[in-house]
């Protein structure tokens, strides 16, 4: 099961307690405590009304059995009044619970989202492949986790209050019935765990299989044009049907376990209605109690056994919760490991110097540890225009990623300025949905780069028609469906020119551009004092570079001045 231990081990529950403590001590903690206090007060009120209802119901049934019309009317009206007030209190309790659950979910989702995007954890999790569907865990599992956590805590509190309030009532009715309630609940809990244990692993597998199916559907939607042009519907259909079959088969296994558990739990709770009648009815026959005591004992016995039998009544949601808890624990651990720097072997040092230095850098393949680049040692000072060429495409791409800090398979040192001074342009430009202004500027740059400069730069790069077509800087667009590949790359270069970093790493960015466009872009970078290091073929515009680094298929390299 993907290496995940689905048993509720000590570490997982320690994480659970730690998360709750962090929530209470966070900036929303005071509001959470206020809501919690209100919930406890409302819970006390609900249980208090349940106790009152048991006595009012007893007297009402006794008046009915004795044919006492005046008492029947009076107790009936009182019974209705208790139900009305209890309904108001119950609804308010549910409303407060929903608000506290949403507060908890919002806080935890933000915390996990920050951790997911911090230190490029999202990238390391994807390349490491030890965590499946982290996006689904942050979205869906957090919702289940927060809602169920609150429900469990409230159920435990409510069960404790029920035991305290109703134990005395049942003991006064019949001490043997009280003891029967305890033994019966212990018996039920044992067999519920025995029958339902497989649900924990099955529920976790189901979450992953549902997420895999959704991910494939999303892939179809996002690549609709490419799929239509290459006519790959058959392959994708087979993949989708396979995903459906897998999740359906796992769900059938869940149904089998639920069926067996339901056989037991249904019979278990049906007997609750009969047991107190068999115990108390003889007392009524002997004239030791009133008729209403029989109905009261049934109600109190059901409340007390229900409080003792949370495992029986809630095993299915508890099994789902345990699976979610395990999945989130593994996600949190994986993100913490990326932040602790346990994965990288290459030492990456950021300095204020205006140069990039590689010291004894060896890069290896992730799949088989094969050497891609062997013992590279060179410095690239600011102002140098370098072409990285040669037939070893894997090595060039690995060097590009290692310099960016997202490839760590190897050894040696990379010494470079901070990422604020370096920009990396991949072969396919990344343009997220939004406005042109959001696309061209990072957060905080809105007040340092004028609209006039943005517009002029776009026109210089031949994007004047795009500007007119999309309606200006502040109209939101889905750029992948609006622009051609060449226009996307030109827009990425516009962002680069506006940022004016000291260095720019370019990974085969000319594939969607004409030679004239590529030459114009490199000349513009030079005019802006941006040193560029490009991954490309040695025959592509060598005159625009000061030096060429050639990487052979065996990982060897040589530096040639141009």
Does 359 reside within a domain?
Answer: yes
- At what angle are helices 142-173 and 175-196 packed, to 10 degrees? 150
Mean of the pLDDT values across residues 354-380?
91
The CATH number linked to 545 is 3.40.50.300
In 3-state terms the chain splits into helix, strand, coil percentages (rounded to 5) of: 65, 10, 20
Does 146 reside within a domain?
Answer: yes
- Angle subtended at Cα 266 by Cα 262 and Cα 272, rounded to the nearest 5 degrees: 150
Picking from 340, 358, 381, the residue at the C-terminal end of a domain is 340
Phi first, then psi: give them for residue 358, nearest 5 degrees.
-110, 125
**Alpha-carbon span 124 to 129, nearest angstrom:** 8
Q: Residues 230, 360: one domain?
A: no
Q: Residues 371, 435: one domain?
A: yes
Q: In what order do the strands lie in the sheet with 531-535?
A: 422-425, 503-507, 531-535, 386-389, 547-551, 557-561
Q: Residues 311, 365: one domain?
A: no
Does 530 reside within a domain?
Answer: yes
The pLDDT assigned to 533 comes to 93
Q: Residues 266, 405: one domain?
A: no
pLDDT at 33 over 60: yes
Domain that holds residue 157: 26-340
Q: Residues 202, 161: one domain?
A: yes
pLDDT at 1 over 70: no
Mean of the pLDDT values across residues 11-27?
79
Looking at the chain, the whole-number percentage of residues with pLDDT higher than 70 is 90
Burial of 45 per CB tally in 10 Å (0-12, 13-18, 19+): middle
The pLDDT assigned to 355 comes to 93
Does 288 reside within a domain?
Answer: yes
Nearest to 488 by CA among 500, 471, 502, 470: 470
The CATH number linked to 112 is 1.20.1560.10
Does 15 reside within a domain?
Answer: no
Mean of the pLDDT values across residues 498-522?
86
Q: Residues 365, 401: one domain?
A: yes
Terminus-to-terminus CA distance in the chain, angstroms? Answer: 55
Q: Residues 351, 413: one domain?
A: yes
| Model confidence pLDDT, tens digit, residues 46-86 | 878 877 887 787 788 888 877 888 888 888 888 888 888 88
| Model confidence pLDDT, tens digit, residues 262-291 | 888 888 878 887 888 888 888 878 888 787
Cβ pair 261, 188 in contact under 8 A: no
| Model confidence pLDDT, tens digit, residues 233-267 | 887 888 889 899 999 999 999 888 888 888 888 88
Q: Which of 9-13, 19-23, 145-149 has the highest mean pLDDT?
A: 19-23
Q: Residues 369, 308: one domain?
A: no
Burial of 542 per CB tally in 10 Å (0-12, 13-18, 19+): middle
pLDDT at 101 over 90: no
Computed over every residue of the chain, the mean pLDDT equals 82
Q: Residues 265, 354: one domain?
A: no
Picking from 308, 340, 372, the residue at the C-terminal end of a domain is 340
pLDDT confidence bin for 338, thresholds 50/70/90: low
Q: At a CB cut-off of 8 Å and minimum separation 6, what does 420 contact?
A: 501
Q: Which residue has the tokens 């009044």?
A: 81
Mean of the pLDDT values across residues 19-41?
87
The pLDDT assigned to 381 comes to 93
pLDDT at 228 over 80: no
Q: Residues 184, 43: one domain?
A: yes
Looking at the chain, the whole-number percentage of residues with pLDDT higher than 90 is 15
pLDDT at 342 over 60: no
The pLDDT assigned to 451 comes to 86
Q: Residues 156, 296: one domain?
A: yes
With b for 16 or more beta-carbon neighbours within 10 A and e for fewer, the 114-133 pattern comes to: ebbeeebbbbbbebeeebbb
| Model confidence pLDDT, tens digit, residues 297-319 | 888 888 777 777 766 666 667 76
CA dihedral 467, 471, 473, 474 (to 10 degrees): -160
Give the DSSP letter string of 90-114. HHHHHHHHHHHHHHHHHHHHHHHHH
The pLDDT assigned to 55 comes to 79
The pLDDT assigned to 3 comes to 38
Other beta carbons within 10 Å of 553: 12
Picking from 314, 340, 366, the residue at the C-terminal end of a domain is 340
pLDDT confidence bin for 10, thresholds 50/70/90: low
Is the model more confident about 452 or about 333? 452
Is the model more confident about 502 or about 164? 502
pLDDT at 387 over 50: yes
Mean of the pLDDT values across residues 333-353?
69
Does 434 reside within a domain?
Answer: yes
State how many domains the chain has: 2
pLDDT confidence bin for 341, thresholds 50/70/90: very low
Does 44 reside within a domain?
Answer: yes
Q: At a CB cut-off of 8 Å and minimum separation 6, what does 451 contact?
A: 473
**Alpha-carbon span 491 to 435, nearest angstrom:** 12
Q: Can you say whether residue 67 is alpha, beta or left, with left for phi > 0 and alpha for psi between -120 and 50 degrees?
A: left
The pLDDT assigned to 361 comes to 94
pLDDT at 7 over 50: no
Q: Residues 410, 534: one domain?
A: yes
pLDDT at 333 over 80: no
Does 17 reside within a domain?
Answer: no
- How would you classify the pairing of strands 557-561 and 547-551? antiparallel
pLDDT at 5 over 50: no
Cα 27 from chain centroid?
Answer: 21
pLDDT at 365 over 80: yes
**Alpha-carbon span 298 to 314, nearest angstrom:** 21
pLDDT confidence bin for 129, thresholds 50/70/90: low
């Amino acid at each position: 099961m993907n290496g995940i231990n689905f048993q509720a081990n000590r570490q997982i529950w320690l994480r659970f307690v730690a998360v709750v403590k962090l929530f209470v001590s966070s900036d929303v903690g005071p509001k959470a405590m206020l809501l919690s206090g209100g919930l406890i007060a409302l819970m006390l009120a609900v249980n208090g009304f349940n106790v009152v209802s048991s006595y009012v119901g007893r007297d009402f049934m006794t008046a009915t059995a004795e044919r006492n019309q005046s008492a029947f009317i009076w107790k009936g009206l009182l019974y209705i009044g208790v139900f009305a007030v209890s309904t108001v209190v119950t609804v308010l309790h549910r409303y407060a619970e929903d608000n506290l659950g949403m507060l908890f979910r919002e806080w935890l989702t933000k915390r996990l989202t920050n951790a997911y995007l911090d230190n490029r954890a999202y990238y390391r999790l994807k390349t490491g492949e030890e965590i499946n569907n982290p996006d689904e865990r942050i979205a869906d599992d957090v919702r289940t986790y927060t809602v169920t956590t609150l429900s469990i805590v409230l159920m435990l509190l409510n069960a404790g209050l029920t035991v305290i309030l109703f134990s005395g009532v049942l003991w006064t009715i019949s001490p043997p019935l009280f003891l029967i309630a305890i033994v019966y609940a212990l018996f039920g809990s044992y067999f519920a765990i025995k029958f339902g244990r497989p649900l924990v692993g099955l529920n976790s597998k189901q979450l992953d299989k549902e997420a895999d199916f959704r991910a494939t559907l999303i892939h179809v939607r996002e690549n609709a044009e490419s799929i239509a042009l290459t006519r790959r519907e058959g392959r994708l259909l087979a993949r989708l049907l396979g995903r459906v079959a897998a999740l359906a088969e796992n769900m059938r296994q869940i149904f089998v376990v639920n069926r067996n558990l339901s056989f037991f739990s249904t019979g278990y709770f049906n007997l609750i209605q009969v047991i107190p009648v068999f115990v108390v009815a003889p007392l009524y026959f002997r004239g030791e109690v009133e008729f209403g005591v029989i109905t009261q004992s049934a109600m109190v016995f059901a409340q007390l056994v229900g409080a003792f039998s949370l495992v029986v009544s809630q095993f299915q949601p508890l099994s789902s919760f345990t699976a979610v808890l395990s999945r989130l624990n593994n996600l949190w651990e994986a993100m913490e490991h990326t932040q602790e720097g346990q994965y990288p072997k290459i030492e990456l040092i950021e300095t204020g110097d205006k140069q990039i230095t590689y010291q004894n850098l060896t890069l290896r393949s992730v799949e088989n540890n094969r050497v891609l680049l062997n013992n590279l040692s060179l410095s690239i000072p600011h102002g140098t225009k370098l072409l990285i060429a040669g037939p070893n495409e894997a090595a060039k791409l690995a060097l590009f990623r290692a310099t960016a800090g997202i490839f760590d398979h190897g050894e040696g040192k990379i010494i470079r300025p901070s990422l604020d001074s370096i920009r990396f342009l991949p072969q396919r430009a990344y343009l997220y949905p939004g406005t042109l202004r959001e696309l061209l500027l990072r957060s905080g740059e809105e007040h340092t780069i004028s609209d006039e400069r943005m517009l002029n730069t776009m026109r210089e790069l031949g994007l004047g028609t795009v500007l007119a077509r999309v309606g200006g800087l502040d109209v939101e667009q889905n750029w992948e469906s609006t622009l051609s590949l060449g226009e996307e790359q030109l827009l990425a270069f516009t962002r680069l020119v506006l940022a004016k970093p000291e260095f720019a790493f370019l990974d085969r960015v000319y594939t969607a551009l004409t030679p004239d466009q590529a030459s114009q872009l490199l000349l513009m970078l030079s005019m802006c004092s941006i040193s560029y290091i490009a991954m490309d073929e040695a025959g592509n515009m060598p005159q625009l570079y000061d030096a060429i680094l050639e990487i052979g298929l065996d990982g060897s390299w040589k530096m040639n001045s141009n």
